[in-house]
A and B are shown apart, each in its own frame.
Chain A
Amino acid sequence: MKHIFLGALAFLVQSDLPDSEFVRLRRELDLKSRPWATIPWQVSIREARERAAREKKPVFLNVNTGNLLGVT
């Protein structure tokens, strides 16, 4: 009886991240799950200007103390 109890307890104690949770977190934490990350951001002023000139578009610049794309 004691062995059955210990076996059941061992089964209930988590030993790994369950499949369903791994899949869920993989989906929720995906960078592209956030709308801001789907914008085609450039990180070089020079390249943004060159591409904007080719495509006949203005440049939209975001400046922050700490890059809004994830590093400071």
Chain B
Amino acid sequence: MPVAVDNVDHPNQTAAELEFLNSLAERGVKTCTEGYCAFSPGGKLLGWGSGFSAAGAKEMLAQALERFKPDAATVGKGEEGVRRPPEGGLVMNVTWSVLSGLSESDASPYGEYAPYFRRALGSDRLWVRRDEAEALAKGELLESLKARIVRRHVRHIFFKAEEIQLALRDGRLSGSFETGAPPRRGWIRGAVEVRDGRVQRFDLVVKGWGDRIEDEGGFAAGMTTIPEGKTVPVAMLFTLADPKDGLSRVLPSALGAEDYIR
């Protein structure tokens, strides 16, 4: 049963979960800033370490499976403070990637993992309020949603973009922006489909010219590998997430901003 957590900032982690993690084999997860481990539902540590190499992880998992015996999980209840998407709203997957312009010879702090970062798909979530979803279903893009898409997501990747235009008309999203000097045009295009009064499809592609993002955590994915002073083609996608998919429950990166969902 795969699960991923942030060791530093995990807003939805409950006190009971943290207590459990810290109890694992006396070392606890808090002693590790990165890596894999495997444990039984009851908390018996089965395997630890391996860095992020596939071969190491596979070996660790094989050993863990050999040691595993099914047991019960006594878990603490209580979800105080757990943040969930707005009731009646929508969750969208937001992804981005550098399309071209990177070279294997570009300098990188990522060492052996540099090729993976260059090809990496950035991943985030966009939350849409109920009233915004209802407006979309009626063919209207509320200013609040437009602002969230543009300020909290598009501008995070295309941070040099000037005057990002975005509009919805007859089920078609369109827009543009400019980046750089001399300015180069970026394009926004998408579609909204509605059935039975509910949004069933939301696809929005943003394509333009992007610059390096300094991001120690690597969240910006391939954007962190763009050489200093270079501008390359980058694209983003917003699309409806499956609410049953675990990935749809990862919190939006900008959720910490006070006005994110207002």
Interface residues of A (CB under 8 A from B): 14, 16-17, 21-22, 25-26, 28-31, 33-34, 37, 39-46, 48-53, 55-72
Contact = CB atoms under 8 A, between A and B. Distances in A.
Contact of B239 (A26, A50, A67): A26
| Chain A facing B: main interface SS | mixed
Most chain B C-beta atoms within 10 Å of own C-beta, residue among A34, A41, A57, A58 = A58
B224 to A, nearest CB: 12
A49 to B, nearest CB: 4
Interface of B: 1-10, 12-14, 16-17, 20-21, 29, 32-42, 46, 61, 64-65, 68, 70-73, 75-76, 93, 95-97, 121-125, 174, 185, 187-189, 203, 205, 207, 217-219, 235-237, 239, 241, 246-247, 249-253
Contacts of A53: 41-42, 70-73
Contact of B29 (A21, A40, A42, A61): A61
| Chain B facing A: main interface SS | mixed
A53 B74 CA distance: 10
Nearest to A41: B246
A61 B64 CA distance: 12
B217 A68 contact: no
Contact of A64 (B4, B97, B185, B250): B4
Contacts of A17: 187-189, 205, 207
B260 to A, nearest CB: 13
A66 to B, nearest CB: 4
Most chain A C-beta atoms within 10 Å of own C-beta, residue among B5, B124, B236 = B5
B35 A43 contact: no
9 contacts: A17-B207, A42-B3, A43-B12, A60-B36, A63-B32, A65-B6, A67-B4, A67-B250, A70-B253
B250 A43 contact: yes
Contact of B6 (A14, A41, A51, A66): A66
B118 to A, nearest CB: 14
Contacts of A72: 6, 8-9, 217-219, 253
Given A64-B6, A65-B8, A68-B4, 16 more contacts: A25-B207, A28-B97, A29-B121, A30-B237, A30-B239, A37-B121, A37-B123, A41-B2, A41-B3, A46-B16, A48-B1, A56-B70, A58-B38, A59-B3, A63-B29, A66-B6
